[in-house]
Amino acid sequence: MDINQIAKMAGVSRATVSRYLNDGYVSQEKRAAIKRVIDKTGYVPSRQAKTLRTGKTDVVGVIIPKINSASVSRMVAGITPVLNDTGYQVLLANTDNDARREVDFMRLFAERRQVDGVILIATVFTPEHLDAIKGLNVPVVILDQNLPGYSSVHQDDYDALRDITALVLKEARRPAYIGVFEEDVSAGEMRHRGFTDACAQAGVEVPDEAQVTAEFTVDSGYTCTEQVMQARPETDAIVCATDSIAYGALTYLREHGRRVPEDVQVTGVGDGELSQIVTPRLTTVHHHYKTSGAEAAKMLVGLMTGDDAIPREIKMGYELVVRASTR
């Protein structure tokens, strides 16, 4: 079944059917005739043919750094309903934290014009990333990082870490920090800076051996806590850049007879579901990841439809969620 057969069965021209399928003007009588034939035959227009006619795919590419990340899954949960409700399908590209693969996906989207727009849940910006973003021939929104000159939705990681560090310093004078690689500006550099500025403001000096870098995993959190506690057994608070790292810290401290929060306070970032289940329940930062995903999708739809041509930046709010792992 093709558009010519639909036109013949409805008693109209091929051009009339084409206008109907593309929401152009068709008289009520002819519209009703075409609809009866489509309903009877179950005809579905070819996506490839529509792309050739309109230059649009009705597909949005979403590039994610890690498919099993709690924060990423919440962002995607915010993205998909907005795009689905506006008639777009989502093409999910998982990079497994491989920066080169992020670049490859952007170049693939640009070369083959498989999508009408791109949401990049970003971690790092290498020169190759910047070149690939510039080379995109479709609108792009950066999510979870801020890139000047481009529409972006990101978290307030600096203020969040400064505030949660100030919270633990009310009852601690020998804190440690377990962060992530600082090429990730938001989760790495900004969170670390928030910690160090809060310590400086409180007149607390933190030696280098009490500031270490982990991966985004529970195991790495465990190993880094072991490293910190062996180098500085007097540590009385561990501020972690993510909840996963904090879960590893809690496990190490429990296995080695350190009470939380009586001996050592522990905090995280993310407020994942496990933060309410671990023992003790984790004090953390609640970032509005799902809402940020929805805002990024709305922003992209505006760019794709031409309703929002000027790049905008949205910095999300946050909440401190104080639970039993701090005093």
DSSP 83-131: HHHTT-EEEEEE-TT-HHHHHHHHHHHHHHT--SEEEEE-S---HHHHH
Residue 303 and residue 256 share a domain: no
Residue 311 and residue 245 share a domain: no
Residue 257 and residue 175 share a domain: yes
Residue 230 and residue 113 share a domain: no
Residue 139 and residue 213 share a domain: no
Domain that holds residue 93: 59-154+289-316
Report how many domains make up the chain: 3
Q: Which pLDDT tens digits describe the chain residue by residue (327 residues)?
A: 788 888 899 999 988 988 887 777 889 999 999 999 998 888 776 555 555 455 577 899 999 999 889 999 999 999 999 999 999 999 999 999 899 999 999 999 887 678 999 999 999 999 999 999 999 999 999 999 999 999 999 999 999 999 999 999 999 999 999 999 999 999 999 999 999 999 999 999 999 999 999 999 999 999 999 999 999 999 999 999 999 999 999 999 999 999 999 999 999 999 999 999 999 999 999 999 999 999 999 999 999 988 777 889 999 999 999 999 999
Residue 166 and residue 195 share a domain: yes
Residue 309 and residue 227 share a domain: no
Structural domain includes residue 11: yes
Residue 111 and residue 74 share a domain: yes
Structural domain includes residue 241: yes
Structural domain includes residue 244: yes
The rounded distance, in Å, linking the Cα atoms of 217 and 241 is 11
Q: Tell me, what's the pLDDT at 52?
A: 46
Structural domain includes residue 325: no
DSSP assignment letter at 269:
S
Residue 150 and residue 294 share a domain: yes
Q: For the domain that residue 205 is a member of, what is the CATH number?
A: 3.40.50.2300
Residue 12 and residue 102 share a domain: no
Residue found under tokens 């490293």: 227
Q: For the domain that residue 34 is a member of, what is the CATH number?
A: 1.10.260.40
Structural domain includes residue 321: no
Residue 188 and residue 88 share a domain: no
Structural domain includes residue 118: yes
Q: Tell me, what's the pLDDT at 164?
A: 98
Q: Which residues contact 131 (CB under 8 A, 6 or more apart)?
A: none
> Residue 89's beta-bridge partner residues?
59
Residue 95 and residue 48 share a domain: no
> Residue 321's beta-bridge partner residues?
284
Structural domain includes residue 64: yes
Cβ atoms 284, 243 nearer than 8 A:
yes
Structural domain includes residue 223: yes
